[in-house]
Amino acid sequence: MTSRENRGRLLISCPDRIGIVGAIGQFLASCGANIAESAQHSTAPWGGDFFMRVEFELEDLPNREEALCRDFAKLAEEYQMRWRYHPARKKKRMAIFVSRELHCLQELLWEWQDGLLDADLKMVISNHEDARPLVESLGIPYYYIPVTPENKPEAEAQALALMDGQIDVIVLARYMQILSPSFLEHYPQRIINIHHSFLPAFIGRNPYQRAYQRGVKLIGATAHYVTEELDEGPIIEQDVMRVDHRFTALDLRIAGRQVERAVLSRAVKWHLEDKVIVHGNKTIVFA
């Protein structure tokens, strides 16, 4: 089997105490696994919270996963661990939602084509037809679901039906709709949004016009998990670009798009590669 087929990932969080790293290493060694990557973080040396990401190689892993997880659960109970396991060979199945602005969608599609986005891209869903030629030219299913205030529950139900049992993560690549709490319940901590602002600044509509009026010197973007609180979910990635008084509102918008593309791409990659642990309304990112 290839290395990818024999590679697994563990994401772990628990109360910090002496011996956690050693116990995990000893467990994997006893299984015959070799640690390929390891990263950890503690919020405080004593009495804090501990976070760890381990990527390991184990011969014949697909046939040993069930026993490995069963045995690890015993160790996890001893250390009060919250944990999840994901085999590297299984790409996460992804859906992209988009409206009329296509720059973030284009970035994701380019990286997916180049093999830089470790995802099984199942579909693109949009409330407009603008992206259809681009998406279908790549052989990706495209679904047009118009959304109005009157039909929003039905539109969301249609999208959920299309994704049922097929999707692991949703990316909102400038999808200009607010998803209902009932929709979000189906994909907790698995919907990633790009916000065209360096949160918490300029939340809501027309951020670039308001940034221009405020005379900002930095323009930015924020990728975060979607929660019921608008634009307040756990932040995965942020970045900024320096601007000055010569930038018009349009210039700011163009600069912002460049930042949005890069920020969303990085956040999606880290999620796909199991590098993000959500802790309250924050994230630990082992990038």
Check if 231 is active-site. Answer: yes
Q: Is the peptide bond before 200 cis (omega within 30 degrees of 0)?
A: yes
The CA distance from 177 to 183, in Å, is: 12
Contact 174, 260 (CB under 8 A): yes
Alpha helix (H) ranges present in 100-142? Answer: 103-113, 132-136
Report which of 59, 51, 83 is spatially closest to residue 70, judged by C-alpha positions.
83
Catalytic residue among 49, 118, 130, 231: 231
Q: Where are the beta strands (DSSP E) in 136-279?
A: 142-144, 169-172, 191-195, 218-225, 235-242, 276-279
The CA distance from 119 to 126, in Å, is: 19
- Catalytic center residues: 231
